[in-house]
Structure 1
Amino acid sequence: MSSRLVEQLGARSVAGASATALARQITALILDGRLTVGERLPSERALAVELRRSRSTITRVYGLLEADGYVTRHHGGSTRVALPHGPALPGQDGDGDAIDLSIASMDSTPGLYDATVRSLPRLAALRGTSGYSLQGLPELREALAQRFTERGADTTADEIIVTSGALNAVNLILTAIGRRGERALVEQPTFPHALEALHRHGYRLVPTPVDTDGWDTRHVTDTLLSARPHVAYLISDFHNPTGATLPQEERSRIAATARHVGTHLIVDETTAELDIDRGWAPVPLAAEGPHVITVGSMSKIAWGGMRIGWIRAERSVIARLLAVRPSFELGTALLEQCIAVELLRDMPALGAHVRSRLTAGRAAVAEGLTHLPGVRMPRTPGGLSAWIDLGAPVSTALSLAAREQGLILPPGPRFTTGGVLERRLRIPITLPPERTAEAMARLALAWGDLVGGGRQPAAEMRHAAVI
């Protein structure tokens, strides 16, 4: 079994890379969080065997990392991930100058303040209660159930649990039904923190490809039949990061196959309401049967500061979730729940705000990319971001160059299970247009540095190993 470092690097993608290039790639893994501070790296001998490189090359790699402060080494002992003690990285010095594109999220909806004011009498009426809300306020669960029903999946309030965000919901599900050592089907690419949650709960990840033109449904169903994973994590609407939407007939085919092999489908609908101009509205996968567990969130349609999420599942699963939840939390904050009730009463206004902001953000990204020759932006009908094709496997190199321009931009492999998709880059369409324009100007400078020879000769880019 390969080490986590090699899984993140992708052994094939670093074949033939110089010691300097390998050190840069590992630096990128550290900077965007794929390797964590204090994590133990393989020994020089073990890494040389895994990468089929000489030990002297690996010694040089670790030496470069140590010189730059990204690892600490002890003679005859371990090599561990560290961060330099020098000047802060972009975005960590508090001056507000860095632009962070690792977070794809909008600022709050204009209706948030009024909704907060309207929610206060409801909160005041709860002062005579214990204040704990293990399953969630009945009014909020009723509103969420109604929204599912309106979209085509008949739902009742007792099939809903309110959580502290969608990621909290995923972790609650895995705590309740997870099985260490089992397989989990995941999309490639996908939401990185979901991958981390599955890893932490002991799952072995089995990827299936997704691109801007959608899923390979045959690959999904064949993998379900052959691997028989215990769970599958899917983002079926405005997939993060590709923006694709799973067609209705493919939803039914995948759900039927999952039901046949006994796979729990965990469907993340955090981005489901982020429609710009898709032109059609699918029925939620929740309508396909009791083996589908759906999570959602207010963070993308209202504000990330509102830690409100939910789980929609059959009653027996809800009972298991409620039995486990007190072991790590006793419910979700009441004020946020009261505000969410008010916001859900005005979904048309929320939708209009989202559509307006995403339309402007998409246009700003498209305009900025005109200054990057050879880079292609796909049609982006909604969602959080554009999944850019760079035309060459230089995503990590561009991410490093962008940091020198005060731009924090995770490379394509950040969204994968094994260091692949170096041609791709996720650019959020959620920032205000003026902020996006500045981010794209900085990206253009980084691109010019990269292709102009600042990091690597342009003639070598298409055939280079990951940097």
Structure 2
Amino acid sequence: MKEAISARRVRELLGPLPAGPAHAGLSDTLTLLIGDGRIPLDVRLPSERILADALGLSRTTVTRAYATLRDSGYAHAAQGSGTFTAVPGGHERAHDRVLVPGGAGEDWIDLSCAADSAPAEVMAAYTAALSELPAYLGRHGYFPSGLPVLQEAIAARYTARGLPTEPEQIVITPGSLTAAGVVVRALARQRGHALAESPTYPNAAEMLRAAGLQLHEAPVDGHGWDTAGILDTVRQVRPDFAYLIPDFQNPTGAVMTAAQRQQLGQALRAHGTHVIVDETHHALALDGQAMPPPFAASNPDALTLGSMSKTHWGGLRVGWIRAPRPLLDALLRARMSLDLGVPVVEQLAAAHLLRQGPVSPGQLARLRTQRDALIDLVTTLLPDWRFTPPAGGLMLWCELPHRGATALAAAVAASRVVLTPGPVFSVNGGLDSYVRPPWTRPVAELRAAVERIAAAWRRLEESGPLSTVRPRRAGAVF
């Protein structure tokens, strides 16, 4: 069954229409709402009569606006079923590259990957791991669920956060993406449905799609989650899975409030949805702020993922699942159908690091300096770009004055900068008025990169923007 958006919800998202002909203002604003993911794709728009009544416009005005949407590729009509949202070119996303095989080249500045270089503690952890390795060499070396010493360290971290956890509830995997894949492999049914934030971590969306799941959007931006819209989708679709990043969400940097966690956690549990909670960025609170309770505190059935890649080093391929006990057998069977365990040295190094804390103070200080520098550079050199300054994580989610992120990424590549445009993070297309620059490079590289991006943006501006209409946010998001 196709999803639908109500006329009331469309009215809230539209806000006041821009000056000029009403049909043009309506079609322009709907185009941006669809393109930026605020109105999800493949949902049925209200009928022309119902939307006209809700907006206080004539039916002719809405009819002309819908016709413009169809002509521009942002909607299509299904005979007898209504008008449905779309994006030009369907679901294929231009510039769909997050990691470049072999890297971008030494003379390039690569802003496509939000991951930091390894701090000194990582080398020390590997040295300690090698000294501990002889104690394991007399055994077979297979630990499908993980080394007990690492399971204990991870369980202790959750317990310290107010989420009592036994070591047996931890399943070690080679990274959080593999952890999510294990969950889906264990619990998915044929032709199932999954709720995914939009924008979201693109590799996770591709993993869900590759598992045969139909994806439905849960809109989020730098201000937070569209809780009302998400709950509408949950009621209509009853998804099998929900993939959420509640802590410094990738790419928006938003943090889900305790009230939102409670509301969404209870609703998803009531509908029998398996909630996959990606906490990869949780420890990266750069301003020392207290974080909300873990999502699993509001939904005991949630499966929580963690990883060493963002807090320590991407080359340390260690992730994990914190699972409710009733699901452990299914998860371990799925885990062993993929491989027989993470290398022992990697697990020993991870355990050594986690016993010191979730992330080193020195690394947090460096990331804080780089974040502040990137914010200053974008504010100064690209003053018409908008963003919500994140309190942690690894990236900015910048809104451009108009569509053109994909064109900008292509243009700045000529200046040897790799920049990821918004459509890469979209579940079903759109978001071409956003880019995601991370602050994971040294300040000097960030300065050079933003200078080149600003120059490329000026050249694009001189060629003429598509549109300067910005839809108003629909009030507070809970």
Pick closer, same or farther for the CA change 1:93–1:244 going to 2, 3 Å: closer
User: Quick one: which of 110, 130, 139 aligns to 1:100?
Assistant: 110
Q: Unpaired runs of 5+ in structure 1? A: 18-23, 35-89
Equivalent-residue separation in structure 2 for 1:92 and 1:142 (angstroms): 36
Aligned to 1:364: 373
Q: Pick from 219, 227, 233 the counterpart of residue 223 of structure 1.
A: 233
What SS does the corresponding residue of 2:436 show, helix, strand or coil? strand
After TM superposition, give the deviation of residue 15 of structure 1 in Å.
5.2
Name the counterpart of 1:277. 287
After superposition, give the CA deviation of every residue in 1:22-65 in whole Å (9 maximum; x if it has no partner): xx989x9454349xxxxxxxxxxxxxxxxxxxxxxxxxxxxxxx
Supply the AA of the counterpart residue of 2:366: R
| Residue from 291, 308, 321 that aligns with 2:301 | 291
Aligned position for 2:278:
268
> How many Å separate the matches in 2 of 1:297 and 1:16?
42
Q: Distance in 1 between matches of 2:108 and 2:268?
A: 44
Match of 1:169 among 156, 164, 179: 179
Indicate if the aligned counterparts of 2:370 and 2:443 stay in contact, CA closer than 8 A: yes
Distance 2:225 2:247 in 1: 12
SS in 2 for 1:253: helix
Which residue is equivalent to 2:85? none
Q: CA deviation at 1:326?
A: 2.0
Distance 1:95 1:324, change over 3 A: closer
Q: 1:14 to 1:432 in 2, by over 3 A?
A: farther
Summarize the Cα distance change of 1:25–1:407 in structure 2 as closer, same or farther, 3 Å threshold: farther
Instruction: Tell me by how many angstroms 1:162 deviates.
Output: 0.7
How far 1:195 sits from its partner (Å)? 0.5
Output aligned runs, 1:230-269, within 5 Å: 230-269=240-279
Partner of 2:218: 208
The 1-side partners of 2:69 and 2:411 are apart by: 19
CA contact (8 A) 1:91 1:408 kept: no
Q: Which of 357, 360, 384 in structure 2 is aligned with 1:347?
A: 357
* CA distance in structure 2 between the aligned counterparts of 1:242 and 1:463, rounded to whole angstroms: 21
**TM-fit CA distance, 1:354:** 3.4
- The reply to whether residue 328 of structure 1 matches residue 346 of structure 2 is no
Cα displacement string for residues 101-144 of structure 1 (whole angstroms, at most 9, x for unaligned residues): 11000001221111222222321100011111100000100000
Q: 1:433: how far off? A: 1.1
Tell me how far apart the structure 1 counterparts of residues 104 and 442 of structure 2 sit (CA, whole Å). 20
Could you tell me how far apart the structure 2 residues matched to 1:342 and 1:154 are?
A: 21
Aligned length in residues: 393
1:170 Cα deviation from its structure 2 partner: 0.8
C-alpha separation in 1, matches of 2:329 and 2:102: 43
For each residue in 1:327-377, what CA deviation from the matched residue of structure 2 results, as whole angstroms up to 9, or x when unmatched?
A: 2201111101000111011117x3413321221221221232111231123
Counterpart of 1:387 in structure 2 is 397
Residue of structure 2 equivalent to 1:128:
138
Task: For residues 173-213 of structure 1, give each alpha carbon's deviation from its aligned partner in whole angstroms, at most 9, with x where no partner exists.
Answer: 11111123111111111000010000000111110110111
Quote the sequence identity (%).
37
Separation in structure 1 between the aligned mates of residue 229 and residue 405 of structure 2, nearest angstrom = 26
Aligned counterpart, 2:468: 462
Q: TM-score, normalised by structure 2?
A: 0.77
TM-score in terms of structure 1 length:
0.79
Does structure 1 residue 451 correspond to structure 2 residue 461? yes
Q: Secondary structure of the equivalent of 1:295?
A: strand
Correspondent of 1:415 among 397, 422, 425: 425
RMSD, matched Cα: 2.7
Secondary structure of 2:205's aligned partner: helix
CA contact (8 A) 1:399 1:408 kept: yes
Q: Structure 2: which 5+ residue stretches go unaligned?
A: 3-34, 43-67, 74-87, 471-478
Which consecutive aligned stretches of 4+ in structure 1 deviate over 4 angstroms post-superposition?
7-17, 90-95
1:361-413 Cα shifts (integer Å, max 9, x gaps): 21221232111231123221111201111111111111111111111112111
Deviation at 1:145, TM superposition (A): 0.3
2:437 corresponds in structure 1 to 427
Secondary structure of 1:185's counterpart equals: strand
Of the candidates 183, 189, 192, which is equivalent to residue 179 of structure 1?
189
Q: Is the 8 A contact 1:263 1:291 kept in 2?
A: no
The aligned amino acid for 1:345 is R
Which residue is equivalent to 1:87?
A: none
Conservation of the 8 A alpha-carbon contact between 1:360 and 1:432? no
CA–CA separation in structure 2 for the residues paired with 1:178 and 1:327? 15
How far apart, in 2, do the equivalents of 1:289 and 1:419 lie? 30
Report the CA distance shift for 1:95/1:354 in structure 2 as closer, same or farther (over 3 A): closer
8 Å contact 1:290–1:313 — kept in the other structure? no
